[in-house]
Structures are given as C-alpha cells and as structure tokens.
Homo-oligomer: A and B are copies of this chain.
C-alpha cells in the first residue's frame, strides 16, 4: 500500500521477517562508511557567555520571572475569579489562624508568633511566588525542627546559651528571638540557593526518603503534643535520642494527667476524625468540606471561657495574646553561628515541601512554576518574616488543600487570608485566650493520620524493591532517634549509597547466540544456544566505576576460567628458562620444535630481581623458533593452557566509566591481549567511546580496531578469522615482523597475519 524509502531489506512475502544484509562493521569500518557530522558541544565558557548575555528581551523576562505577580495579574479575570478568591481567602484565613496557634506550640514559642507566620511571609510571597494555589505559612515538620533548636538554645531547665542579647529577656522572648533568627537564616540559605540556581537539589529528596522522613516527623509531632493533650509539664529535650527522654518523662508523670485536658482532647479528636471521614466520603456531594477544626476550636473556646476551665481544672490555655504586631528586629548573628548546621536542613525541607505541593497544583491547573524563583520567594518571605519575629514559613498541605478546594484561583486568596489573620492579630485575638492548648494539640495529632499511615508502604516496598525499603526504614528510624536534621542527613547518605549499591554488584553474565538469529542472551537461560569454541562473550550490565571495577575484573577472570596475569607471568618465566637452556645448550632447535638435548635437572631458582619484567608482553625477539603454549613444552616447563582465543565484552549497558574504571579496564584488557586473547568491545555508546579516546584508553596494544558496532558483527568477524581448529590461539602461526606486538595484540592485527592462512574460514552464523 505504501512504499517506504530505504533499500529492500526484505521481501513483501516475508511479511514479519527480520532480514538484514550489510557489511560486517567494526567501529572503524563504520566510521569510514558513514561520515559523522562534526558537532561542537558547548563548553563551560559558552554557557557562562550565554548566561551573561543581556538584551532587552532577556531583561524583560528576568523582571517578569522575578516578579511573577505581573504575569498573572495581567490575565486576572476579575469577574470570574474575584469572588472565588474572596471565599477561599476567608476560609483559609480561619484555618491559618488555628494552625498558626497550634504549630507555634511545636516550635515551643508563644502562640501569637505562629500567627505572624500566617501574615508576613504570605504578603511577600504574593509578589514573588509562582504558585497560585499554595497557602504559605507554618508547616508542622518545619515548626518542630525550629522547636528543636529553640529548646536546645533556651532549655526549660538550666541556663540558656551564652548569648549577650538574651540578657534582660524572659524565656519566651529569648525563644522568640531564637525562632526569628533561625527563620531569618533559613531565608538567607533559600535566597542564596535561588540566586545560584541550585533549586534542583531537591530532586535528591526522593519520594521514598520524603515518605520515611515525614513519617518520622509525624511520630515526633505526636510525641511533642502528648504533653499538651495530657496536660503535663515535660522539659524540652534536644539532640539525638531526645524522643526517648521525652517519652520517659511523660510516662513517669502519667499519673499526673489532667483529666479535663484529656477528656477535651479525646472529644475533639473523635469528632474531628469522624467529620473528616464524612468529608472524605461525601467529597463529591459537599460544596466545600466542613471546617470542623475551626468549628470545634470555637466551641471549645466558648466552653472553656464559660466554665472557666483554667481556674477550675488548672488546664493550660493559650493565654494573653498581645494586640498588634511587634516592631522589626535585627536577627542575632551569634544565634546564626550556633544554628547554621540546623538551619540548612530546614531551608531544604521547607522548600522541598512547598515545591512538591506547588507542583501538584501547577500540574492540575496547567501552569508552570519555577523552582529557583520559588526558592527566591520563600527566601525573601522568611527573611521578611524573620525580621518581624515570625515563625519559619513553608506550606501545609492541609491548608493549601482548603485554599484550593474552596475555589482559590490566585494568591489574591492568600493575601485575603493574611488580612483575616491581621484582623485576628490586631482586634479579636483576645477571644482566643481561653482556648485550651490541649485542643490545639488534639487538632494537630488528628491531622497526622495521613503522615503516619505512610508506614503501610513498607511491606509493599520490601516486596518490590529492597534497597528502596532500606532507605525508607533507615531514614525513618534515624529521623526518629537522631532527630530530624541528622536523620535527613543519614537518609540522604543511605539513598546515595543505594544508587551506588545498585550498580556495584552487577549480574555479569556470559552470553551465547540463539541459534539462527543475531540475538545473544545469557547462556544459562535458554536451551538452544550456540557458543563457538574459544570465544567468550561477557556482558557488563551496569556502568563501571571505582566501586565495581574490581568486582567486574574478578567476574571476568571467573568467566574465562583463568587469570591472564598469572598465565603471562608463567609464560615469561618459561621463556626465560627456555632461553637460558638454549644458551647452555641443554635445549636444541629441531624442525619439530624444541627438544631437550640432555636430561640434566632444570634449575628451579627464581630470578627474583626482575619480577616486574614478568608483567611485560612476552618478548620472543631473540628466539629462533615459535612456542606453542598449549602444546607440551620441553624440560618439564609447565604453563597452563589458554582455551579461548577471543573475548567479547558487551558494553551496551555501560553508560559511563570513571577514571578508576578506565585504568582498571585497560589493565585488565592488556593482560588478556598479552596472553594472545583477542579482545573486542561491542555496542559501545558513542559518548563513552569519545571519553575513552579522550582519556588515552587506546594505545599500541589496546586499539580502536577492537570496537565493533554490534555483538553479531564482532562474532561474524571472529568466526571468519578463526584460527585452525584445535590450535587455539597458538603462537606457532606467528609471522615475525617489525612490530613486536603484531600477532598477539588484538583481533584486527592478528587476523591480518592469518588472513593468508585460512581464506576459507568464513563461517556463517
């Protein structure tokens, strides 16, 4: 029906047949037959030049990308979107107030600082952020990480860290200062990463790692909220194993539990849990999910005020919330120094979470977000927030879900939520004062369900992918026991090791030909295989680098059944002996080879001084005859047989080699070449090939002529130039020439000398 260009490789009748007829190609032949286009690849300089080129268009784009608000404001559809944004903004604002209070408990700072986090960062993100749907503000995991630093520097018991600015401040003020400074520093890290365009580093936080990490974070959050739910006073522990000490402290005090707090918490938890389940079940039928947390908080607040829980049951309440904002304050450099190690993982975690949430909504609503601009936006927001005593900001999935599901279209909704928060801060904050902390704790705990449930992934991971499962478990356990920052570092380390590990012990296999085809598979896997005598095909199924080059060399020796270096040494020793015997006249050259002329015992002593020479290529130069190493040698000289004449390495899966690998591989190949085994490399990627050339892999012994386009090409070549049957690879056919390596180095050169001998050796697969 339609004719395709291209030669007739196949007849019409052959319907589903694979027919090819073309010359056998080594890479060299192929390069001659098909000229390669010379392409210039961009160097570092080109990239730098390109980066610093400036024209009006680039300048405009730069401004637009730095202030994404310009972009989306221009397409803002006031009629359609504004109402949505207002509804969404109000709902989000209410949730933000509640979460702000609750998450500041995680950070061990007074509740109103959490409200600031729902205001300042939101305002600056409004101008700088590229996501239109996330709700910026406190994030529980991040708050907890801030809390760890805060309690480390200003512990409940014992003196605070020796910082001059702490003088004259109450403990709460000291803590707020620490939290604000950490937020500021975190912002600096994020801004720096954004400016240097290194936002891509979050890809190292794989799904598995994040899952394990957040599950551990949920455990930490749960434990940290227990004291509020039970109404206990637990000192804040910090550092590795702090979770154990916290739990120990809670259980030793368990009898002091405040029953009022406990009952309130349980009621709140049960109600919120049930309503959330209903929300989930009737998702499609409800216009907006029931804001049960907000409702419960308001009710609890009212009851607490009415019954006067504080006086009657000594419950811990939110307490006095000062009206209005605090004046901006310069961050403390001394705190920067003390918390730099902890702030960096916070910067990463905060950004990674926000970015992954933003990505979900960007895909859903079909717009683009820019990772580096997001870093800049969060960096600026945290710097801005930190200066105004705000808690570190990222995004909370639950709050963003509220903003998006109630119809928010742009960050106008975010701005309006900030407005609501502002109203609370300025005017009606006092209404929240009687709220029990246990209610906030209960709300936090019930929202952990999703994060904790991630543990259910583990059995599935174990079945499907052991290394991934190990990453999950190690990250989770380390994060629980060592703390979130150290745990993240350990998780990252394990994750990187996993990647190395996956390629470290590759399943090397010996291939053979599937009869009648050009297909090669593991010879153990199929029954009808053809493995030509004297040829080994070795597949390297992974990249080669420092961690597996030795493993691979070992496997190669195992596959061929002999150690080429040992053989080479034995041959060289034998040759030395033969030369000595010839000199002494104890060996004679006869037409049928070397024969002993006497039966004198052979000297067994080794010539130790020249051990190094034994690794050099066998030097036949001043020998009057040829030696066939696989035949019986005179004078009881014994050299192990070498049963293969060709070794084919399938490089199709070798996606890179590092310097250690190139060195090791070259050494290994030389050893084989020096014991007269022809080595072929097939299906080598062009970039790998170029790299080998650049790193001086090829020389007089290891030649480019060993490269073949496909495995089958190499096999056809080998079978055509196969030595006479029986005398595998014997040097007896060696033709003396000026080039002393000729005839023993590799395929191409040895075949040249043999071509004269067996013209009829062409064999077809």
Contact = CB atoms under 8 A, between A and B. Distances in A.
Please tell me the size bucket of the interface on A. 35 or more
Interface string A697-737: 00000000100011011001101101001000000000001
A253 interface: no
A8 B207 contact: no
Interface in A618-658: 652-656, 658
B7 A525 contact: no
B547 A516 contact: no
A748 to B, nearest CB: 5
A528 B37 CA distance: 10
A374 to B, nearest CB: 15
B532 A4 contact: yes
Nearest to A532: B4
B18 A656 contact: no
Given A1-B758, A16-B716, A653 B685 contact: yes
A660 interface: yes
A10 B26 contact: no
Question: Of residues A8, A363, A546, which shows the largest number of chain B Cβ atoms within 10 Å of its Cβ?
Answer: A546
A364 interface: yes
A748 B658 CA distance: 40
Given A705-B5, A748-B5, A499 B35 contact: no
Given A19-B20, A686-B521, A656 B542 contact: yes
Given A203-B546, A496-B496, A709-B519, A39 B524 contact: yes
Contacts of A546: 203-204, 206-208, 495
A765 B10 contact: yes
A322 interface: no
A16 B656 contact: no
A464 B660 contact: no
Q: Which of A504, A545, A569, A659: most chain B CB closer than 10 A?
A: A659
Contacts of A524: 37, 39
B37 A530 contact: no
Contact of A514 (B34, B465, B514, B653): B34
Contact of A22 (B3, B517, B522, B725): B517
Contact of A9 (B203, B497, B761, B764): B764
Most buried by B among A363, A500, A506, A528: A500
Given A542-B656, A686-B522, A499 B547 contact: yes
Contacts of A751: 5
Interface in A312-353: none
A507 interface: yes
Interface in A1-56: 1-10, 12, 14-26, 28-30, 32, 34-37, 39
Given A683-B652, A765-B6, A25 B18 contact: yes
A291 interface: no
B208 A660 contact: yes
Contacts of A34: 514, 526-528
A515 interface: yes
Nearest to A26: B5
Nearest to A464: B695
Given A39-B524, A500-B499, A761-B1, A17 B6 contact: no
Contacts of A525: 36-37, 39, 686
B493 A762 contact: no
A452 to B, nearest CB: 20
A577 interface: no
A165 interface: no
A2 B725 contact: yes
Q: Considering residues A461, A465, A655, which has the most beta carbons from chain B within 10 angstroms of its beta carbon?
A: A655
A655 B506 contact: yes
A569 to B, nearest CB: 7
A543 interface: yes
A204 B498 CA distance: 13
Contacts of A4: 532, 719, 763-765
A310 interface: no
A242 interface: no
A541 B465 contact: no
Given A659-B468, A710-B519, A9 B765 contact: yes
B6 A29 contact: yes
Nearest to A548: B203
Contacts of A28: 5-6
A21 B23 contact: no
A764 B8 contact: yes
Nearest to A605: B80
A279 interface: no
Given A5-B752, A506-B655, 18 more contacts: A4-B764, A7-B764, A16-B762, A17-B21, A30-B519, A34-B527, A35-B526, A203-B546, A206-B546, A363-B565, A366-B566, A464-B695, A465-B658, A467-B658, A468-B658, A499-B499, A502-B656, A653-B685
**7 closest A-B pairs (Cβ-Cβ)?**
A206-B546, A496-B496, A15-B762, A542-B655, A7-B516, A4-B763, A652-B652
Interface of A: 1-10, 12, 14-26, 28-30, 32, 34-37, 39, 203-204, 206-208, 284, 363-366, 461, 463-465, 467-468, 493, 495-500, 502-504, 506-507, 513-519, 521-522, 524-528, 530, 532, 541-543, 545-548, 550-551, 565-566, 569, 609, 611, 652-656, 658-660, 663, 683, 685-687, 694-696, 705, 709-710, 712-713, 716-717, 719-720, 722, 725, 737, 748, 751-752, 755, 758, 760-765
27 contacts: A2-B722, A4-B764, A5-B530, A6-B28, A8-B755, A16-B717, A17-B23, A18-B20, A20-B518, A20-B712, A34-B526, A34-B527, A37-B524, A203-B547, A208-B660, A363-B565, A463-B694, A464-B659, A496-B499, A499-B500, A499-B547, A500-B500, A502-B656, A506-B655, A521-B686, A653-B653, A653-B655
